[in-house]
Amino acid sequence: MAEPNMYRYDEFDAQFVAERTAQFRTQVERRLKGELNEDQFKPLRLMNGLYLQLHAYMLRVAVPYGTLSSAQMRKLAHIARVYDKGYGHFTTRQNIQYNWPALVDVPDILEELASVEMHAIQTSGNCIRNVTADHFAGAALDEIEDPRPLAEVIRQWSSLHPEFVFLPRKFKIAVSGAPNDRAALAYHDMAIEIVKNDQGRVGYKVLVGGGMGRTPYIAQVLGDFVEKEDILAFLEAAMRIYNQQGRRDNMYKARIKILTNALGIEEMRRLTGIEFAEIKKAGTLQLPKEELDRITAYFAAPAFETLEDAMPSGDAAFEAWKKTNVHKHRQPGYAIATISLKPIGGVPGDASADQMDAVAAIMDRYSLGEIRVSHEQNLVLPHVRQKDLPAIHAALAGFDLATPNAGLITDIIACPGLDYCDLANARSIPIAQDIAKTFADLDRQHDIGELKIKISGCINACGHHHAGHIGILGVDKKGVEFYQLLLGGSGAEDASIGQIMGPGFTEHEIAGAVERVVNLYLAKREKGERFLDTYRRMGMEPFKNVAYGEELYAVHQG
């Protein structure tokens, strides 16, 4: 079996995860015996990623910065098959969720996960959550440096940091090493972009105060260029300001985005600067170069073969897949291949145990044993030889994993919504399915081009609706599902927050409304314009005028 280059647990990590697993086993036993009541037990289970959802428990397993080995993927398949109902759901946080685990089985599941260096810690609660990263990390053509070593440094610094165990609210950090933002940096509590300064030195641009949910904000620049050895001191300085001044009286105002906008970014910078100077003076949080080098070594580029660029050709199905699901690699002769988890009419992000096993075999055979989970709920084979692409495509097709739609209108992000989620107002998945079926025709999808639709079942925005070129938000009107349409959002380097169009649509109206909006774009676009560009040029009004259609317009007026 291929062993990819990724972070491996040291003794401390292994011991820590083993201890936590053993502790949770005892905690579950005590709960079942009644020695702990639910109020006492709930925070303990949440610390281990275990939620109670609409139908059953749900276990959220961390996939640090979205990187998995084939051994881990096989283990995820095994858990789905033995302890769950034969599938898992990949989330917009690059994690995987199981929808039906029994409480009594969870200690065994955690033990299985620990055996492949995985766990469910920091997937819940008011802590620094699992750090996310560009899913093309280490492979992208436009990359300055692989962001994962820094993500791992942050993981180690933030895990169980005594000051950060009880933050005012959850805290999400993303890292990217490329100017093209594939990690939705601007929508994170804090984000780090690896940049190069005028002297050609590599350092970090730090953003703060982005977020979705009830009060969406685009992150602002806290530090233009932070030297590498200073990054932990700088992050810690910002965290201290948040810990001291973040609001704990109102959970809707507790995220750092609220603090940042209350203080203003200038003041936030000033305060961070003062703390930073103090931490630096103490010198305790310098990141030694040797330590960064040691961690970076884990992520060393694989031993690539010396190959020429030569993209193979194939039948129409292969060509269609190649067009959208294959991206340029930094290494000649190699490519990045996206495995779409968005078959037309399927559940976005779901993968069966058999599919996971099939992917693990493909990883071993063709991708140096490695895969990434993307925040767009797809999987990415980061390092494949161009000449293997036809064989990979054929292998994927055998498991319904070759849908050629990455980045197209049917590559829809959708949260679990009311089909699973206890907090939901409305279903997300059936809306995604309806829209995907509406636009199933591949020529039409290509004609439309890049168009990102993102759907959330409630204001918590797990489906990133604010960042969708077209966003859809489920709302509840007296127990009936309604859907608000948002236009003009982006989670990329041109980040923007989608604007709500107006009154909501019913479950049966929403796909039609999306189609009318898209048709107007097709009629009005200028050369080279994506949907987002046309919307930005024309504004909401013309889209609103067509979205409701004549009949709906009459209903909403009346």
Partner 1 sequence: MANPSSQVLTANRLNDGTVLYRKADGWVLTLAEADVYDDKPAAQAALDAATAGLTRNEYVSPYLFEVRRENGVIHPVKEREIIRAAGPSVRADLGKQAQGV
> Interface with ligand SF4 by CB under 6 A: which residues?
415-417, 421, 423-424, 456-458, 460-463
Query: Residue 199 binds which entry of ligand SF4, partner 1, none, with Cβ cut-offs from 5 to 8 Å by kind?
Result: none
Contacts for 20 with CB less than 8 Å, ≥ 6 apart = 48, 110, 119, 121
| Least distance between partner 1 and beta carbon 431 (Å) | 10
Q: How many CB atoms lie within 10 A of CB 50?
A: 25
Nearer to partner 1, 232 or 421 (CB): 421
- Which residues lie below 8 Å from residue 457, measured CB to CB, with a gap of 6+? 415, 416, 417, 418, 421, 424, 425, 426, 427, 428, 463, 474
Measured from the CB atom, is 475 or 552 closer to ligand SF4? 475
Helix (H, G, I), strand (E, B) or coil at 356: helix
Which of 98, 100, 204, 535 contacts partner 1 by CB under 8 A? 100
Q: How many CB atoms lie within 10 A of CB 455?
A: 30
Q: What's the min distance (Å) between Cβ of 101 and partner 1?
A: 8
Of 53-61, 184-192, 331-339, 372-380, the window that binds partner 1 (rule: CB under 8 A) is 53-61
Q: Tell me whether residue 239 or residue 461 sits nearer to ligand SF4 (CB atom).
A: 461
Nearest approach in angstroms of CB 424 to ligand SF4 is 3
State the binding partner of 281 from partner 1, ligand SF4, none, CB within 5 to 8 A by kind: none
CB of 532 to ligand SF4, least distance (A): 22
Which residue number, 5 or 99, has a Cβ lying nearer to ligand SF4? 99
Of 51-59, 375-383, 434-442, 518-526, the segment contacting partner 1 by CB under 8 A is 51-59
CA distance 241 to 256: 9
In the complex, the smallest distance separating the C-beta of residue 462 from ligand SF4, rounded to whole angstroms, is: 3
Structure letter (DSSP) for residue 480: E
- The residue with tokens 């025709």 is 441
| Cβ burial, residue 475 (10 Å; 0-12/13-18/19+) | middle
Indicate the residue type of 377. Answer: Q
DSSP annotation of 526: P
- Residue 455: CB minimum distance to ligand SF4, A: 9
- Among 46, 103, 317, 552, contact with partner 1 (rule: CB under 8 A): 103
Residue 34 binding partner 1, by CB under 8 A: yes
- Asked whether the beta carbons of 64 and 325 are under 8 A apart, the reply is no
Q: Judged by CB, which is closer to partner 1: 101, or 210?
A: 101
d(Cα 281, Cα 274) in Å, to the nearest integer? 11
Q: Is 479 in the site for partner 1 (CB under 8 A)?
A: yes
Gyration radius from the chain CA atoms: 23
For partner 1, the binding residues (CB under 8 A) are 31-34, 37-38, 52-57, 85, 100-104, 347, 418-420, 424, 426-427, 429-430, 433, 476, 479-481
